[in-house]
Structure 1
Amino acid sequence: MECAAKGRGTACAGPAMRRCARCEAVSYCSIAHQIAHWSHHKQECERLEKQMKNVDVLNEFPFTFSQEATYQICEKHETRCSFLAKRHLHRVGMWMHECHCGASCATFDQLGLNKGWDLSSYFCPCSGPESPIAEELHSWEDYYKWRCIPLDSPVALLLHWPLTVYHAFQLVGIKILNPGMSDKLCIHYLGPEKELLQLAVFGELQALFPGVCIHVELVGPAIPPHRDGEKISISQYACCNSDECSCKLSGDDVISKTQSDTTSAVTLQLRQGFYHDRYGDMVKDRDSFPHLVIAPNAGIAAYTSWLPSIELMEKKNIPVVFTDYCEEACHLAARCIESVTGRSLGLPVQLNPFRQPIVVEDTVLLLPCYSNCFLFGM
């Protein structure tokens, strides 16, 4: 836990053990730093106090490992590394970026190359669903039941990317089960980072959007310049580690590179740079005009580079959904958006039922943070 006043003047005196008595959401290394930080913290203290009252709701998941992945990590009885190691997934394949030590040795030059779940077929969706979606999915429990996955499977740690996309479509009013829905959907996906090492999980969009060709424009500064313009076709689901499973019988790669059009259910187009700089390139083809823009874990208040992109999205009247790690980050983002657009959010801040079910370690706030935790939109 970092001192909330770190980097604002004098060096920290030691570990941040002194909590704010009112909100209990921030800690300080000393009373001197707490006093120095009060002029800033008093603006957020009451708001954080209210958010801390919802901790139990944030930590609520249906999985058998929920206690381990939430409270025990928050209390330092477990770590993300130990959680993954117990399941033989530590620093393995697509799971590499799910802990700090794995992230330190993974590079985005490897994107798209880690294709499998490294789990048995019993624990992962390595083939199509047994039946189409009968009604909309509203929770991880709904999804696991539909995909016949046991609740001790950790695949939600990676599937929160495509399931958040699915939920975003519900929120903006594009109903997945609508018979009149177009057979093509285009998504502009902004600011991808760790998901660039987990691209195979986007194959699950085939199951979530049955009979629909999905085109995803992935645009952001984390994409390596030499991968700019690359098109990736996902023709199958991410494979399990069972050699005799039907997911291995075709012999085809889950992910392949292509520079031409494809009939695959999911194609990913890589664009290096900021959205406002690359938008014109993306919409030259009419089929690439977005049905939805989504920006996972956007951090809008932290990066001024978002402002021209927000101006562009406002001008084009594009449905946009942002996510962030905690409610406070969303509140700060909403203020930034309102300053640019002159109006309040079209989609109010709300908890994402498909947030990643393992807490983020070593955050500035004592408030639990999760990847894709809250959603809001223009």
Structure 2
Amino acid sequence: MECAGKGRGTRCLGPPRKRCGRCGAVAYCSASHQISHWKEHREECDRLEQQMKRLDLVNDFPFTFSQEATLQINEKQESRCSFLSKRGIHQVGMWICECCCGASITSFNYSRPENNTWNFSSILCPCRGPSSPIGKSLCTWKDYYEWRCIPLHSPVALLLHWPLTVYHAIQIAGLGSLTFEVSKLRIHYLGPEKELLQLAVFGELRALFPGVHVHIELIGPAVPQHRDGDKIDLYSYAHCIEKDCSCKSENESTSCGIGTCISSAVTLQLHRGFYHDRFGDISENSFPHLVIAPNAGIAAYTSWLPTIHFRSY
């Protein structure tokens, strides 16, 4: 969490340890930043207080994977860089932003081919379709790993939490049954950041929603200007590193015949800007079944307030 008063004329004096005594949702580095931010925060304080009363519901969210991803890192026995290096994925491909020394989004070309691979053998990653359909709603990482036949020591959850969060959001929003009724599921995904370097992992939604074309509009200021409007069709899952694996030959490309047209299972479209500025032109052709903002940080980033107010009408 960042100081909610960051950038208000004076530099932060340290970590944000002073929480708002009423809502507890925002924190400050100093009393002066808390006082200067009150004019804006008081409009949101009551609402955030009510949301914080439901904090247990947020804590039960199953498909999150904290920055301290392993027991060893959590107990400071090794660094995140060491954890990644031991597995040969430090500053490599989709893993490049998984430690503090990774490249920034703006300085990296996320269209590179190596960003379509897990950099693992097939036994450690979901590079092919599932061997069996989902028998039940997935509620834990253990459920998911067993279904996809991946050993629990595989770190792929670090990247898979993006599509699995989309899956869980659809379930808790009561839209799970909708996927049996519609051929195309439309999602607006707000504020993508490092997942822009990990777009291939969204191919896992093909397995999570079989027979449904999932269309995701990714909208946020982190999208580079030259990629605004780009459309990415995911015809296969992210690949493993084995040269002879069948995932290299899987390519369910678009094909149309007499009276039929089979499209890619997952389509991503990128849009630069804030949601409240882009909603009109995007929703004209893609009105969403679900809006999700996994990186919102609404308590600390005032730039999100117009979007929050916009969506409340």
TM-score bucket (shorter structure): 0.7 to 0.9
Which one-letter code corresponds to 1:181 in the other structure? Answer: E
Residue pair 1:97, 1:106 contacting (<8 A) in 2 also: no
Task: For 1:137 and 1:94, locate their aligned partners in 2 and report how far apart those are by CA, in whole Å.
Answer: 25
1:174 is paired with a residue whose SS is coil
The yes-or-no answer on 1:211 pairing with 2:218 is no
Q: 2:153: which partner in 1?
A: 152
2:135 matched to 1:134? yes
Q: Look up the match of 2:307.
A: 309
Does residue 229 of the first structure (1) align with residue 229 of the second (2)? yes
Q: How does 1:1-378 map to 2 (within 5 A)?
A: 69-104=69-104, 107-111=107-111, 113=113, 114-175=115-176, 180-250=180-250, 252=251, 263-285=263-285, 288-315=286-313
- Distance in 2 of aligned mates of 1:10 and 1:314: 32
Contact 1:231 1:269 in 2 (8 A): yes
2: CA distance, partners of 1:210 / 1:294: 21
SS of structure 2 residue aligned to 1:202: helix
Letter in 2 for 1:139: T
> Partners of 1:125 and 1:184 in 2: how far apart?
23
Name whichever of 103-112 and 140-149 sits farther off. 103-112
2 CA distance for matches of 1:304 and 1:4? 8
Asked whether the equivalents of residues 112 and 197 of structure 1 are also in contact (C-alpha less than 8 Å), the reply is no
C-alpha distance 27-72 of structure 1, shift in aligned 2 (>3 A): farther
Asked whether the 8 Å contact 2:105–2:193 carries over to 1, the reply is no
Distance in 2 (alpha carbons) for counterparts of 1:291 and 1:5: 34
Q: What secondary structure, in the 3-state scheme, does the structure 1 residue paired with 2:267 have? A: strand
SS at match of 1:69: coil
Q: Cα deviation per residue 1:136-169 (whole Å; 9 max; x = unaligned)?
A: 0001010001101110111100000000000000
TM-score, normalization by structure 2: 0.76
Q: CA deviation at 1:268?
A: 0.6
Distance in 1 (alpha carbons) for counterparts of 2:151 and 2:246:
19
2:4, 2:72 → 1: CA distance?
A: 23
276-285 vs 210-219, greater mean Cα deviation: 276-285
Question: What SS is found at the alignment partner of 2:101?
Answer: helix
Q: What count of residue pairs does the alignment treat as equivalent? A: 285
Secondary structure at the aligned position of 1:301 is classed as: coil
Match for 1:160: what amino acid?
H
Secondary structure of 2:144's aligned partner? helix
* Cα deviation, residue 107, structure 1: 2.8
Note the C-alpha offset of 1:3.
11
Task: Name the CA shift for 1:146/1:289 in 2 (closer, same or farther; >3 Å).
Answer: same
Q: How far apart, CA to CA, are the structure 2 residues paired with 1:301 and 1:19?
A: 14
How far the C-alpha of 1:86 sits from its partner, in A, is 1.0
- In 2, the alpha carbon distance for the partners of 1:295 and 1:274 equals 12
**Cα RMSD (Å) of the superposition?**
4.1
State how far apart, in whole Å, the 2-side matches of 1:172 and 1:86 are: 39
Q: Gaps spanning 5+ residues in structure 2: where? A: 20-26, 38-44, 254-260
For the residue of structure 2 that corresponds to 1:97, the secondary structure is: coil
Q: Distance in 2 between matches of 1:19 and 1:301?
A: 14
Secondary structure in structure 2 of the residue aligned to 1:305: helix
Deviates more, 1:155-164 or 1:241-250: 241-250
Whether the 8 Å contact between 1:69 and 1:83 is mirrored in structure 2 is no
Whichever residue aligns with residue 86 of structure 1, its letter is: K
Cα distance between partner residues in 2 of 1:2 and 1:10: 15
Name stretches of at least 5 consecutive residues in structure 1 with no aligned partner. 21-25, 255-260, 316-378
Following superposition, the deviation at residue 6 of structure 1 comes to 9.7
Paired residues of 1:108 and 1:223 also in contact (CA < 8 A): no
What are the Cα deviations for residues 352-371 of structure 1, in whole angstroms up to 9, with x where unaligned?
xxxxxxxxxxxxxxxxxxxx
2:41 is matched with which residue? none
Mapped partners of 2:236, 2:105: distance in 1: 27
Q: What is the CA–CA distance in structure 1 between the aligned matches of 2:95 and 2:174, rounded to whole Å?
A: 32
TM-score norm. by structure 1 comes to 0.63
Aligned partners of 1:146 and 1:207: how far apart in 2?
11
Question: Any conservation in 1 of the 2:3–2:300 contact (CA below 8 Å)?
Answer: no
> How far is 1:75 from its partner?
4.1
Alignment check: 8 A CA contact 2:125 2:154 kept:
yes
Cα drift, residue 297 of structure 1: 2.1
One-letter identity of the residue aligned with 1:76? K
